[in-house]
């Protein structure tokens, strides 16, 4: 939103400001009004052609030279203007310079702009004694305020872009993690098919061939061998059903704790945030559906705190208290005055997923652990959960 305003709407806002300020020069007594308005017209036309015709990129060297050229022209306007309206033009130009270039260029530019301003006013007022020009000195504070404000806006935009890049990297890493886990689960399932079911079917085929040979020679022996083949096939069918049930229940997690740790590690590496983690969940406590809900809640909570809250510190806790799973995620981000009334799509989806499996979720923005947002989730024990793999 802010990027769009700076890049697209700001040039229009600056041009409108210049056009509004232009008629105000005639309200003061000006000894050289025609020359003044000629220079002002040229300056505004340059601004228009720069932003809307040539669409000049002010971040590069050409943009730097163009800003310096505008400063030279503006110094002529200041030397003709016997009011202080031209100072507004100068402050806008300083703001553009600070936003688009480094301090190595913007500081000398701002100093030169102030010196041009002082010299221009001295010329405009007819070279009065320097002692009478002392009223200009306090105006340096206006230059400093504009300079600092423009620099803070620049830093804020840079941090916002870095956070967006970090979010995109984390999202990509998360998708890759899910894809890798899915592939690992498929490989594990294929190995089980090959090792257990394949072996069972192969030995059964050998047994059936032996039965076919024994039937005319020893029917009783053939019947006993046929029973063994039947038991072997029945065992193989049991393994098939067991593997299918496990595959349906596990979704894409082989190990829930490893998946969570991988997500947290990716988050730390991609964004340089600090995450304090406490996990204490007994083996087999979580059902596969609960694992998905907790994983998605953690993923969305981290993303939300990073992207919207600009958090740099998280605290994640997952434990079981009195047969209730307790999830807690806190951040030190900007927070919200009333988080319950400002839920975005991701947090709404998180709430719906928790409530669908009989859980409770609370979003806190007041008196939080780290000063940002607290996400608290409680899930009851799933009585139908199977101890398929270890958790935390």
Residue 178 CA neighbour count, 13 Å, CB half: 10
Locate 109 and state its tokens.
């530019």
Alpha-carbon distance 102 to 35, whole Å? 34
CA neighbor of 354 nearest in space, from 366, 342, 362: 362
Top-level CATH class of 170-250? mainly alpha
Alpha-carbon distance 377 to 290, whole Å? 11
DSSP 8-class letter at 215: T
Q: Tell me the pTM.
A: 0.52
Q: Quick one: CATH architecture of 256-380?
A: 2-Layer Sandwich (3.30)
Alpha-carbon distance 138 to 128, whole Å? 18
Provide the β-strand partners of residue 96.
none
pLDDT at 378: 95
Domain ranges of the chain: 2-128, 170-250, 256-380
pLDDT at 327: 96
- pLDDT per position in the chain (392 positions), as tens? 445 555 678 899 999 999 999 999 999 889 999 999 999 999 999 999 999 999 999 999 999 999 999 999 999 999 999 999 999 999 999 999 999 999 999 999 999 999 999 999 999 988 888 777 777 888 899 999 999 999 998 998 888 888 878 877 777 777 677 667 667 666 666 655 655 565 567 567 777 888 888 888 888 888 888 887 777 777 777 767 766 666 555 544 557 788 888 888 877 876 778 999 999 887 778 888 888 889 889 988 888 888 788 888 999 999 998 889 999 999 998 887 777 777 777 788 889 889 988 999 999 988 889 999 999 999 998 876 644 333 33
pLDDT at 161: 82
pLDDT at 388: 37
């Amino acid at each position: 939103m802010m990027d769009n305003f700076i890049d697209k709407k700001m040039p229009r806002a600056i041009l409108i400001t210049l056009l509004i300020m232009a008629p105000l020069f005639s309200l003061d007594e000006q000894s050289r009004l025609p020359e003044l308005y000629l220079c002002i017209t040229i300056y505004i036309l340059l601004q228009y052609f720069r932003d809307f015709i040539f669409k000049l990129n002010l971040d590069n060297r050409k943009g730097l030279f163009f800003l310096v050229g505008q400063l030279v022209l503006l110094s002529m306007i200041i030397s003709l203007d016997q009011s202080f309206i031209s100072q507004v033009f100068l402050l806008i130009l300083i703001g553009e310079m600070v936003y688009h270039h480094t301090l190595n260029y913007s500081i000398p530019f701002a100093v030169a702009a102030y010196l041009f301003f002082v010299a221009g006013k001295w010329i405009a007022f007819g070279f009065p004694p320097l002692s009478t020009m002392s009223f200009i000195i306090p105006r340096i504070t206006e230059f400093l305020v504009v300079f600092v404000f423009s620099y803070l806006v620049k830093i804020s935009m840079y941090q916002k872009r870095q956070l967006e890049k970090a979010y995109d990297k984390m999202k990509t890493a998360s998708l890759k993690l899910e894809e890798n886990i899915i592939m690992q689960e498929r490989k594990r399932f294929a190995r089980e098919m090959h090792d257990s079911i394949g072996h069972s079917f192969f030995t059964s085929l050998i047994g059936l061939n032996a039965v076919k040979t024994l039937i005319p020679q020893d029917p009783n022996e053939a019947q006993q061998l046929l029973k063994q083949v039947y038991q072997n096939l029945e065992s193989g069918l049991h393994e098939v059903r067991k593997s299918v049930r496990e595959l349906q229940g596990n979704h894409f997690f082989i190990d829930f704790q490893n998946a969570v740790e991988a997500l947290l590690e990716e988050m730390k590496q991609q964004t340089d945030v600090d995450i304090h983690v406490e996990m204490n969940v007994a083996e087999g406590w979580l059902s596969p559906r609960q694992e998905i809900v907790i994983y998605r809640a953690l993923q969305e909570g981290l993303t939300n705190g990073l992207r919207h809250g600009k958090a740099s510190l998280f605290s994640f806790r997952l434990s079981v208290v009195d047969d209730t799973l307790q999830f807690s995620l806190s951040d030190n981000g900007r927070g919200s005055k009333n988080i319950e009334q400002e839920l975005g799509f991701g947090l709404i989806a998180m709430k719906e997923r928790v409530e669908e499996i009989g859980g409770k979720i609370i979003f806190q923005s007041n008196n939080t652990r780290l000063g940002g947002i607290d996400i608290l989730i409680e899930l009851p024990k799933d009585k139908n959960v199977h101890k398929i793999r270890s958790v935390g």
